[in-house]
Structure 1
Amino acid sequence: MSLIITDECINCDVCEPECPNEAIYQGEEIYEIDPNRCTECVGHFDVPQCQIVCPVDCIPLDPNHLESQEQLMDKYIKLVQEG
């Protein structure tokens, strides 16, 4: 599953630079996560880095984008190949 940023986001700017897949971007009101680029840091780290640094704990799993660890790894491999 990819992650999602909830409306509790305070736009503190700490999550975006931590994302190794460049999946996090500034939306109209708060930061958002591109589910096509989010691998929950699979392939890079053991745990999602954005969740670790978020001071308000507003980055849960996105129930609308269910993915297994294998699917997340496949997505990571495709992103690496795209370069």
Structure 2
Amino acid sequence: MGAYGSHDIHGLLQTEEYARALFDMRRPAYSKDDLERHVAARMARLEIFERTPAPALTFVLDEATLRRPLGGRMVLRRRLEHLLGIAG
């Protein structure tokens, strides 16, 4: 599977904080329960990385997407650390 992202980090690469910030920006806004349900569903999809054999996934991300401080500087930092961790 391959994906290119020029605006948001692909869902399979998102941290919980980033997903929450992304869903929180939606207008009209999700209710608190809907927001939690969407974040939980997004995080549940990450089980794909636990499969054996590991899936072959390719993601191309625009540099601006990587640098966008959605959710704040600490969310950005943890997101970059997360990407480094799963890249290898």
RCO greater where, 1 or 2, for CA within 8 Å and sep 6 or more? 2
Task: Please give the TM-score of this superposition, normalised by the length of structure 1.
Answer: 0.28
Task: Please give the TM-score of this superposition, normalised by the length of structure 2.
Answer: 0.27
More helix by share: 2
Larger Rg: 2
